[in-house]
């Protein structure tokens, strides 16, 4: 039987797990890993293996979780990615299985992802200008990534989204380009405010643009806000009668953003993070030795949730322990 949903002292309900399956990445996005992935030599804890991940899914499903997102680093670098997705698909209760990827090999793997039971796909595309894409990500991969998105759209996923991190210098041009992209395609483009991390604080301050400015522009141009779904989280979504696709805004700096928090994060080494910007994490590995042990996840999470802070305190300049988001998947 599925468990009741976990809650915290602020009556927030948790039904969405974001699991990073690797810290490795093959891109070097300027705001994330500008020098590319470098293994931390002091790190001795191994990544969770497939068996531990299966148990984790079993445990969170029993704790009432309905949605799992596989992220990274770049999750498609892990050889057992399809088995991990199949494991989520075979776990009763996990109805939404999503993946975040930079899209480098999406064209060749999209069909296998679908067969493994993936339902939703988020592809990061920060710019639709080839040169700018290359300069932001360190890879000249825009045509390949776009071909992957077309492939995914042809395969009948329940949702395909494009994530673009907002940069103030190019927001206007990029908005126009993305609107062109979604005119006829059933894609949701989500603009994400640049967030401060331990390593990239100065970059964030130089390039930050509030999503509020984009929201005004959208409202003035006939875009209408949509009601929020139970498992959709804190994005504000907009639709327009002349566009097949949608626009979403993710504005962690906006008032009230944390009120609708519905997610918990687990790092690739099995550490639970209550908040992207939290200082601490707690290993769940001791509960991942068997399906039976994993039933203890509900109690462990419930206990830890008592200390979940009401907000991320980003405005107060807090960034927590996040050196960058490649460790826990953004
Ligand atoms: N490698 C995959 C990708 O890029 O989609 C998955 C991991 S990546 C850390 C997940 C998301 O976090 C991406 O959409 C990325 O743009 C976003 N991200 C990373 N650092 C960020 C930052 N400082 N502010 C806002 N979004 C960030
Ligand atoms: Fe890699 Fe994603 Fe970070 Fe870019 S945002 S460096 S693709 S983990």
Residue 102 Cβ contacting ligand 2 at under 6 Å: yes
Residue 165 Cβ contacting ligand 1 at under 6 Å: yes
The total number of structural domains in the chain stands at 1
Contact 75, 83 (CB under 8 A): no
What is the CATH classification number for the domain harbouring 93?
3.20.20.70
In a domain, 1, yes or no: no
The bound ligand whose nearest atom lies closest to the alpha carbon of 163 is 1
Q: What is the pLDDT of residues 23-50, one digit of tens each?
A: 999 999 999 999 999 888 777 889 999 9
In a domain, 100, yes or no: yes
In a domain, 310, yes or no: yes
Burial of 283 (0-12, 13-18, 19+ CB in 10 A): middle
So what's the pLDDT on residue 119? 98
The bound ligand whose nearest atom lies closest to the alpha carbon of 23 is 2
So what's the pLDDT on residue 313? 62
Residue 182: partners with Cβ closer than 8 Å, 6 or more residues away:
188, 189, 243, 244, 245, 246, 247
Residue 32 Cβ contacting ligand 2 at under 6 Å: yes
Residue 133 Cβ contacting ligand 2 at under 6 Å: no
Mean pLDDT of 145-157: 97
Q: What are the angstrom distances between the C-alpha of 130 and each of 30, 115, 135? A: 16, 31, 9
Q: What are the angstrom distances between the C-alpha of 300 and each of 18, 47, 90, 243, 311? A: 17, 20, 24, 45, 21
Note if the pTM is more than 0.85.
Answer: yes
What is residue 2's DSSP assignment? P
Q: What is the pLDDT of residues 261-319, one digit of tens each?
A: 889 999 999 999 988 877 678 999 999 999 999 999 999 999 999 888 777 666 666 65
Specify the long-range contacts of residues 231-240, CB closer than 8 Å, at least 24 apart: 231/15, 231/16, 231/66, 231/67, 231/96, 231/262, 233/16, 233/260, 233/261, 233/262, 233/263, 234/258, 234/260, 234/261, 235/190, 236/211, 237/188
In a domain, 296, yes or no: yes
Kindly give the distance from the C-alpha atom of residue 194 to the centroid of ligand 1, in angstroms, as a whole number: 9
Contact 191, 166 (CB under 8 A): yes
Structure tokens at 262: 């519905």
* Domain that residue 314 falls in: 6-328
Cα(60)–Cα(79) distance, integer angstroms: 23
In a domain, 293, yes or no: yes
Residue 31 Cβ contacting ligand 1 at under 6 Å: yes
Cα(74)–Cα(63) distance, integer angstroms: 27
In a domain, 14, yes or no: yes
Nearest alpha carbon, ligand 1 atom 17: 330
Is residue 188 within a helix (H) or strand (E), and if so which, with residue range?
Answer: strand 188-192
Mean pLDDT of 182-203: 89
So what's the pLDDT on residue 42? 72
């Amino acid at each position: 039987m599925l468990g009741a949903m976990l809650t915290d002292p602020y009556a927030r309900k948790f039904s969405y797990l974001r699991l990073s399956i690797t810290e490795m990445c093959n891109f070097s996005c300027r705001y994330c890993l500008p020098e590319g992935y470098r293994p931390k030599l002091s790190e001795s804890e191994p990544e969770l293996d497939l068996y531990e991940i299966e148990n984790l899914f079993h445990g969170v499903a029993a704790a009432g979780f309905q949605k799992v997102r596989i992220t990274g680093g770049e999750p498609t670098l892990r050889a057992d990615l399809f088995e991990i997705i199949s494991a989520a698909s075979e776990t009763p209760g996990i109805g939404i299985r999503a993946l975040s990827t930079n899209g480098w090999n999406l064209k060749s793997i999209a069909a296998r992802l679908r067969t493994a039971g993936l339902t939703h796909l988020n592809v990061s595309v920060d710019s639709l200008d080839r040169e700018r894409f290359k300069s932001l990500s360190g890879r000249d991969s825009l045509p390949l990534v776009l071909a992957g998105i077309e492939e995914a759209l042809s395969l009948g996923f329940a949702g395909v989204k494009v994530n673009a991190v907002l940069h103030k210098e190019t927001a206007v041009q990029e908005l126009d380009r993305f609107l062109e992209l979604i005119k006829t395609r059933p894609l949701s483009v989500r603009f994400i405010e640049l967030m401060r991390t331990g390593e990239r604080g100065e970059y964030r301050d130089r390039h930050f643009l509030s999503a509020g400015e984009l929201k005004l522009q959208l409202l003035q141009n006939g875009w209408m806000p949509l009601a929020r779904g139970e498992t959709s989280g804190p994005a504000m979504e907009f639709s327009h009668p002349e566009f097949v696709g949608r626009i979403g805004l993710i504005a962690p700096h906006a008032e009230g953003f944390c009120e609708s928090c519905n997610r918990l994060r687990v790092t690739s080494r099995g550490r639970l993070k209550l908040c992207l910007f939290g200082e601490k994490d707690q290993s769940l590995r001791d509960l991942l030795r068997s399906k039976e042990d994993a039933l203890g996840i509900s109690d462990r999470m419930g206990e830890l949730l008592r200390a979940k802070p009401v907000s991320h305190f980003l405005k107060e300049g807090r960034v927590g322990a996040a050196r960058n988001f490649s460790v826990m998947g953004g």
